[in-house]
Amino acid sequence: MNSSDDIAIGQVVKSRAGRDKGRVFLVLEVIDDQYVLIVDGDLRKLENPKRKKLKHLMVYNTVLNEFKERLESKIEINNAYIRKLLEPFNK
Tens-digit pLDDT profile for residues 2-59: 455 679 999 999 999 999 999 999 999 999 999 999 999 999 999 999 999 999 999 9
Which DSSP state fits 43? S
Domains and CATH numbers, the chain: 4-72 (2.30.30.30)
Cα–Cα distance measured from residue 89 to residue 31, given in angstroms and rounded to the nearest whole number: 24
The answer to whether residue 1 scores a pLDDT higher than 50 is no
CA 54 to chain centre: 11
Give mean pLDDT, residues 80-89: 95
Closest CA to 38 of 53, 16, 55: 53
Cα–Cα distance measured from residue 83 to residue 59, given in angstroms and rounded to the nearest whole number: 18
Distances (CA, A) of 90 to 21, 32, 35: 13, 27, 23
Give mean pLDDT, residues 46-73: 95
User: Which run of H or of E encompasses 83?
Assistant: helix 79-86
Cα–Cα distance measured from residue 74 to residue 39, given in angstroms and rounded to the nearest whole number: 17
The answer to whether residue 83 scores a pLDDT higher than 90 is yes
